[in-house]
Structure 1
Amino acid sequence: MAKNFLLEIGLEEMPAHVVFPSMQQLKEKTEKFLAEKHLAYDEIKSYSTPRRLALFITNLVEKQADIHEEVKGPAKKIAIDAEGNWTKAAQGFVRGQGLTTDDITFKELKGVEYVYVTKHTAGKKTTEVLQELPSVITSLTFPVTMHWNKYDFEYIRPIHWLVALYGSEVVPFTILDVTTDRFSRGHRFLGQKTSFEQADDYLVNLEKEFVIADQVKRQAMIEEQIAQIAKENNYQVSLDPELLEEVVNLVEYPTAFVGNFDPKYLAVPQEVLITSMKEHQRYFEVKDQQGNLLPHFISVRNGNQEHLANVIKGNQKVLTARLEDAEFFYAEDQKLTIDFCVNKLKNVAFHEKIGSLYQKMQRVTVIAELFGQQIGLSAEELADLNRASQIYKFDLVTNMVGEFPELQGIMGEKYALLQGEKASVAKAIREHYLPIASEGDLPASKIGAVLAIADKLDAVLTFFAAGMIPSGSNDPYALRRQAYGIVRILLDQQWSFAIRTLIQAIAAKLNEQVAEFGFSLDNITEEVTEFFAARLKQALSLAEIRYDIIDASLYSNQEDLLLQAKAAQLLQAHSQADSFKPAMEALTRVVNLAKKADQSVEIDESLFETEIEREFAEKVQTTLAGLSLDNLAANYEALVALEPVIVKYFEETMIMADNEAVRNNRLSLLKQLATEVEKIAKLDVLITK
């Protein structure tokens, strides 16, 4: 008869950010363990709080399934000697399976007879198999670990108790000096020690001791309590998902409450106030129905309603101290000039091998101007871009950003506006950090987007030039994320990005004044180009474009990342059309034959021998004359339209003619066509079968 199984690992309080991942990891590894041990069950439910990780497995069978396995051994001619006796090979084989030669049968496989035995393995009792769970529990990995007492063993936090119940039976095993039992612990301050007669008692008995072990229920309680507070006070409360998850993993018995702060602090930018509340205190900000920040906050205590007034008072006191600091920093920062801050950046290292932040800004100014000119920014936009690039890191040396690093860029925009900078310049200062996450928001303004690209491109180029290139999972300076951010911005803005040409132009400028810029760029073009190709591949893969289409576009004779992306999107859009397969096959044949052209010669119409050859040449020349990189879709349609005449031409024409002049003439014509085809994609990597 199947029974439910409970496993609980009791710990000291874990950091909130590791609770959910650890719970999921325990579940996944247990699923794998049960599959390997041939133990069937209905479902695994996972639970967690800051002090425990738990699994509840429903209808876990009482014993392993018996296994009947047919095992193949040596060939018959090796198993039996000339006298008809079993050889050592046969005897060793059956002995290894726990059987005898009496169990041997023969079966033919591809014309050869082999020894076979049927191995019967009786399933063990589930309670016996579950005693191997310490191997699962101790295999969990964490971002940080600690060891305690005299043990070398490391874990996220010390293990204080273990519960393992199969139905009502304790499954015995020990980890370090902790042995499984049916006893658990309630809330650290409100609850008592509790026990479970059977696995099914878990959630109910813990709740009696002020522990909501089900994280889904805990989150629902928090959401409902905050919604009730908002309704009663006519508040607008936005539940940030990341903050909500963190709060869920900070408490075992949640009680939401409202706190207040002095309205005078509303004179400080609301981003500062929200950061103080959210990042440092794990509070939810409160707004009115018009979206204006109010002098209140909502927090969640780990406990019940008792002595809640004291809890509120304590939280208000802590927040007030934070806001006092913020108000002071804000006032002090306004005494600083942008020029003063920029000058201080001369003494702030960007990286010891690359130079100061001031030198980085000097390089970025050059890169931004080159790229801004390339994409056709107006004179006014270029002037604003130049100003933004010369000052965009100044807020890093302000008091506010020193205390709240999360506000870099945000405070730069605000301080720039206070000191009379143009709104477009100030906005670019904030936007140059975007996207902050791999799929985060992108810059909305052209100037902000160019500055973001220039800043990130400088990081990639200089770190590559310094030999600090990401390898494997090692990417300490987040160069992959920065390059991917550039790709996303380019695709969003639809800007051309001729990567090799741009790198060479940047290197030419920067290498003229190594002393000023602090760095030279040499011999990195190919490595950086491949690095960006991998990031574009990532973006196109996420857009669910076929892998062979992506490769065909990236390996084309086109260095512009935007055109590579457009080609991939174009081929993907047409890949299901009836014309796609025959057209790609015909054009691929053109490309493959064109590789045989030893030299390109001017097409000589007098060497044409047939009417189809004249027709083919005329249509190819007309098509090539009408192609333009400004309209990739039209190019594709024009090339696809050649499919019937290509097929007919190949059917009626011997390309590799004996006459060298005729052969070279035909190959040169194909070469002209292939060159234009390969500006769109390298078709020979496409899968058309």
Structure 2
Amino acid sequence: MPRNILFEIGLEEVPARFLRSAMDQLKDKTQKWLEASRIGFTEVTAYATPRRLAVIIHEAQDRQSDMSEEVKGPSKKIALDDQGAWSKAALGFARSQGVDPDSFTFKELGGVEYIYVTKNSIGVETAELLPEGLLGILTSMTFPKNMKWGTHEFKFVRPIKWMAALYGSDIIELEITGVKAGNTTRGHRFLGKEAVISEASQYIDVLRAEHVIVDVEERKQMITEQIEALADEKGWNIAVKEDLLEEVLFLVETPTVLYGSFDPSFLNIPQDVLITSMREHQRYFPVLDQEGSLLPYFVTVRSGDSRSLDVIAKGNEKVLRARLSDAKFFYEEDQKLNIKDALSKLESIVFHEELGTIGDKVRRIRRIADQLASRLSLTADSCDQVSRAADICKFDLVTQMVYEFPELQGVMGEDYARKAGEQEAVAKAVFQHYQPRFAGDQAPASMIGAVVSIADKMDTIAGCFSIGIIPTGSQDPYALRRQAQGIVQIVLEHKLSLSLSEVFDIALAVHAERHDLKRSEKEILKDLTDFFGLRVKKLLSEDQRYDVVDAVISAGFDGVVSAVSRGQALMTEVQENSSFKSTVESFNRVSNLAAKAGKFAVNPELFAETQESELYEAWQSVREQYLDAIQQSDGEAALKLLGGLEKPITGFFDHVMVMAEDEAVKTNRLALLSGIDSDVKQFADFTKLVW
């Protein structure tokens, strides 16, 4: 009869950032063990709080399913000797499988007969498998950081304090680090007590009675509903950031939302500073009015009930007051530092021992940014703003505020630059040049910020590649993948007429001026091209089929805007135009024969058939417009012009013998196909499409 299985691992408080993945890992390992052990079940549910990881297996079968397995042995030729008796190979196979040779059968496979044996095994009772199985699941779990405790050699995320393991109502006997599994669990550290779980299915209710909400989604719903109710009551807009909600979710066992206030005089500090201090240091949710301006209140979540909330609020207010007082002091002190003095301090901060100081980096950013601005034909005023923004983009790194809150780099730079009298476009660019900071973040809104951002990111990437620092596997200490993805995003969103190879060349030339390149420029350029190719491919793959992406990438991705436009146009055509397959087939026929062509120019005077002339004229009539559409990143127009060649290509192959006996005619026909193929492949390599 099916029974539920409970396995709870009680721990010292686990860091919140580890718990979601640990819970998912426990569930995944449990499911895989059940499947490998041939134990039927309906569902596996995982739970987690700061002090426990748990899993419930619903309706587990009481024994393994029986197994019948057919095993292939040596071929009949090897299995029988000249007298027709079993050979040593056959007898050895029988011993290895634990069967009598008389049970052998012969079956043909691939024209050869082999001996087979059928092995039947009766399923073992689930109760017998659980102790070893659950212990194996526990010991196979991995974490970013592990601990050892006492004299035990075993390592785990935190010391194990208790275990509850039940098969229905029966205790599963297992032990690790001196802790034996039982049928008791522990409630909330202060509000609850030890409690007996009489049956696995009662686990959630038993803990709820001891002030522990073990179901993660239930806790999340409680927090969300309480925050929404408070917001409605007060008319507030409580800014709930998903990553902070996730962290708070794993800091509490029974969530109760409360609010507190702080001195309104602190609102004279920039809003981002206050919000960062509340979120990052105190795990508070900031409170805004309906226009998005910060109010002198905060919301937090207590791990406990609603008793004495006023006392808890006052304690939190006292701690926050100290935090905000520090922030106010740092902010006021930073006003005394002028930008020129701040820039001089960058000369003593090492960026990388082989790439110099932050001051050296800033000078490289300025050189790269100036050349990019010139290449993009920005106005004289915009070029001056790019230069100034590049010069001061890192000055806030030496401020006390950024030292205390590193995540405010750029935010404080913009504020301080504005207060120092810098142009608005320059001040904004100081903040924007860090964008996009992470996946899903915005690209710089202004062209000034976009240019400086590309220069900064490309300087870091080119510098690292020039000294042999190239991301491999999961290793990427300088976040080069994220920065390359950022460059691709900026080029695309601003539709910059800027090729990646131009950006590479500019950055490498600037680095070559400033320090010796440890690797050859050719090697670096190849690695950069491959590296950025993967970023563009990732971008295209977000909404396009793999074969469409491969076809477009094969035609080139140096122009990111063009590659994306071509990919979108091709994906639309593949999905929505059922007749497009015949168009592609015509291009592929051209490509197959073009591979046999040498380097010869087309001579129209050698055309012997009408269809040759018609194809040549059709190609020439659209060629200039087509190449211009490619240049202008108008993939839809380019593909439409190419589609007009299908009919003359089909007519050509229906009436013209390409491999003519006359060598000059044959060469001319191949040259015609080669020219068309060369142009077509500027859009995509259609041979890579899969139908």
Deviation, structure 1 residue 234:
2.8
User: What does residue 413 of structure 2 align with?
Assistant: 412
Deviation, structure 1 residue 258:
1.5
- Which amino acid letter does the alignment assign opposite residue 610 of structure 2? E
- Which amino acid letter does the alignment assign opposite residue 34 of structure 2? L
User: What does residue 540 of structure 1 align with?
Assistant: 540
Q: Matched residues in 2 for 1:558 and 1:65: separation?
A: 54
Q: Matched residues in 2 for 1:671 and 1:55: separation?
A: 64
User: What does residue 671 of structure 2 align with?
Assistant: 668
Q: Matched residues in 2 for 1:607 and 1:296: separation?
A: 85
Deviation, structure 1 residue 521:
8.2
User: What does residue 560 of structure 2 align with?
Assistant: 561
Deviation, structure 1 residue 251:
0.9
Provide TM-score, normalisation by structure 1: 0.95
Identity of aligned residues (%): 44
Deviation, structure 1 residue 675:
2.2
Map 1:219-298; keep pairs closer than 5 Å.
219-298=220-299
Of 22-31 and 262-271, more deviation after overlay is shown by 262-271
User: What does residue 605 of structure 2 align with?
Assistant: 606
User: What does residue 125 of structure 2 align with?
Assistant: 125
User: What does residue 639 of structure 1 align with?
Assistant: 642
Deviation, structure 1 residue 518:
10
> SS of 2:161's equivalent?
strand
Deviation, structure 1 residue 33:
0.5
Contact residue 536 and residue 557 of structure 2 kept, 8 A: no
Contact residue 14 and residue 156 of structure 1 kept, 8 A: yes
Contact residue 496 and residue 563 of structure 1 kept, 8 A: no
Of 566-575 and 626-635, more deviation after overlay is shown by 626-635
- Which amino acid letter does the alignment assign opposite residue 687 of structure 2? D
**1:624 maps to 2:627:** no
> SS of 1:457's equivalent?
helix
Contact residue 600 and residue 671 of structure 1 kept, 8 A: no
Change in CA separation of 1:201 and 1:632 when aligned onto 2, cut-off 3 Å: closer
Change in CA separation of 1:11 and 1:466 when aligned onto 2, cut-off 3 Å: same
Of 353-362 and 284-293, more deviation after overlay is shown by 284-293
**1:654 maps to 2:653:** no
**1:685 maps to 2:688:** yes
User: What does residue 549 of structure 2 align with?
Assistant: 550
Deviation, structure 1 residue 110:
4.2
Change in CA separation of 1:505 and 1:591 when aligned onto 2, cut-off 3 Å: farther
Q: Matched residues in 2 for 1:345 and 1:456: separation?
A: 18
Deviation, structure 1 residue 510:
4.7
> SS of 1:180's equivalent?
strand
Q: Matched residues in 2 for 1:300 and 1:558: separation?
A: 49
Deviation, structure 1 residue 386:
1.4
User: What does residue 369 of structure 1 align with?
Assistant: 370
User: What does residue 588 of structure 2 align with?
Assistant: 588
Contact residue 413 and residue 429 of structure 1 kept, 8 A: yes
Contact residue 558 and residue 680 of structure 1 kept, 8 A: no
User: What does residue 30 of structure 2 align with?
Assistant: 30
- Which amino acid letter does the alignment assign opposite residue 18 of structure 1? F
| Residues 624-643 of structure 1: per-residue CA shift (max 9 Å, x gap) | 23331224432322222111
> RMSD value over aligned CA atoms?
2.0
Q: Matched residues in 2 for 1:227 and 1:618: separation?
A: 69
**1:326 maps to 2:323:** no
Deviation, structure 1 residue 519:
9.7
Contact residue 105 and residue 115 of structure 1 kept, 8 A: yes
Q: Matched residues in 2 for 1:520 and 1:317: separation?
A: 57
Change in CA separation of 1:236 and 1:6 when aligned onto 2, cut-off 3 Å: same
Change in CA separation of 1:507 and 1:109 when aligned onto 2, cut-off 3 Å: closer
Deviation, structure 1 residue 66:
0.9
Deviation, structure 1 residue 216:
1.6
User: What does residue 44 of structure 2 align with?
Assistant: 44
Of 13-22 and 252-261, more deviation after overlay is shown by 252-261
Deviation, structure 1 residue 164:
0.8
Contact residue 273 and residue 408 of structure 2 kept, 8 A: yes
Q: Matched residues in 2 for 1:104 and 1:518: separation?
A: 69
Change in CA separation of 1:324 and 1:505 when aligned onto 2, cut-off 3 Å: closer
| Residues 535-566 of structure 1: per-residue CA shift (max 9 Å, x gap) | 000011112x1222212211215632221222
Deviation, structure 1 residue 249:
0.4
| Residues 553-607 of structure 1: per-residue CA shift (max 9 Å, x gap) | 1121563222122212221111131342222222222233233332223x33322
Of 156-165 and 569-578, more deviation after overlay is shown by 569-578
- Which amino acid letter does the alignment assign opposite residue 641 of structure 1? G
User: What does residue 432 of structure 2 align with?
Assistant: 431
> SS of 1:454's equivalent?
helix
TM superposition outliers: structure 1 runs of 4+ over 6 Å: 517-521
> SS of 2:73's equivalent?
strand
Map 1:302-341; keep pairs closer than 5 Å.
302-341=303-342
Change in CA separation of 1:96 and 1:532 when aligned onto 2, cut-off 3 Å: same
User: What does residue 105 of structure 2 align with?
Assistant: 105
Change in CA separation of 1:426 and 1:263 when aligned onto 2, cut-off 3 Å: same
Contact residue 462 and residue 521 of structure 1 kept, 8 A: no
Map 1:44-63; keep pairs closer than 5 Å.
44-63=44-63
User: What does residue 458 of structure 1 align with?
Assistant: 459
- Which amino acid letter does the alignment assign opposite residue 428 of structure 1? A
User: What does residue 175 of structure 1 align with?
Assistant: 176
- Which amino acid letter does the alignment assign opposite residue 240 of structure 1? K
Map 1:93-172; keep pairs closer than 5 Å.
93-131=93-131, 132-172=133-173
Deviation, structure 1 residue 177:
1.6
Deviation, structure 1 residue 111:
4.2
Change in CA separation of 1:349 and 1:461 when aligned onto 2, cut-off 3 Å: same
Change in CA separation of 1:44 and 1:155 when aligned onto 2, cut-off 3 Å: same
Q: Matched residues in 2 for 1:217 and 1:330: separation?
A: 41
Q: Which runs of 5+ in 1 are unaligned?
A: none
> SS of 1:504's equivalent?
helix
**1:353 maps to 2:354:** yes
Change in CA separation of 1:225 and 1:623 when aligned onto 2, cut-off 3 Å: closer
> SS of 1:133's equivalent?
helix
> SS of 1:290's equivalent?
coil
- Which amino acid letter does the alignment assign opposite residue 374 of structure 1? R
Change in CA separation of 1:668 and 1:101 when aligned onto 2, cut-off 3 Å: closer
Map 1:461-610; keep pairs closer than 5 Å.
461-511=462-512, 513-514=513-514, 522-523=521-522, 524-543=524-543, 545-556=544-555, 559-576=558-575, 577-601=577-601, 603-610=602-609
Q: Matched residues in 1 for 2:517 and 2:603: separation?
A: 56
Q: Matched residues in 2 for 1:26 and 1:315: separation?
A: 35
Deviation, structure 1 residue 410:
0.8
> SS of 1:179's equivalent?
strand
| Residues 33-79 of structure 1: per-residue CA shift (max 9 Å, x gap) | 10000111111111110000011111111111111222222223333
> SS of 2:248's equivalent?
helix
Deviation, structure 1 residue 226:
2.5
